[in-house]
């Protein structure tokens, strides 16, 4: 899980960002999705789903936060999203 450390008035606070995995039909779509999101300024990477969570090819693209924005971008570019799950 992504973690950001923020220092506020002499104390350290850790803020954990939620991660989401967008399941795609093929590993090729997962790679394309990652590239599209990175071009749009959203940090993303391709990951193999666990055996119990596999849908389609078993690969998906993971994003931290900005789930709704990422989903909208991927749909605009014609990336078929089979499922979205919180990690």
| Beta strands 59-64 and 44-48, pairing class | antiparallel
Residue 28's closest CA among 87, 80, 86, 85?
80
With 0.85 as the threshold, say if the pTM is over it. Answer: no
- What are the C-alpha distances in Å from 43 to residues 19, 36, 56, 67? 11, 10, 23, 11
pLDDT along the chain (87 residues), means of 10: 53 72 91 96 89 70 92 95 89
Answer for the pair 80, 15: CB distance below 8 angstroms, yes or no: no
Residues 6+ apart with CB under 8 A from 58: 48, 49
pLDDT recorded at residue 18: 87
């Amino acid at each position: 899980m992504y973690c950001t450390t923020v220092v506020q008035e002499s104390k350290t606070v850790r803020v954990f960002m939620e991660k989401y995995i967008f399941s795609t039909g093929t590993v090729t779509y997962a790679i394309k999705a990652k590239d599209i999101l990175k071009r749009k300024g959203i940090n993303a990477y391709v990951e193999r789903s666990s055996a119990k969570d596999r849908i389609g090819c078993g690969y998906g693209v993971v994003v931290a936060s900005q789930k709704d924005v990422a989903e909208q971008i991927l749909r605009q570019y014609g990336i078929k999203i089979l499922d979205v799950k919180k990690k």
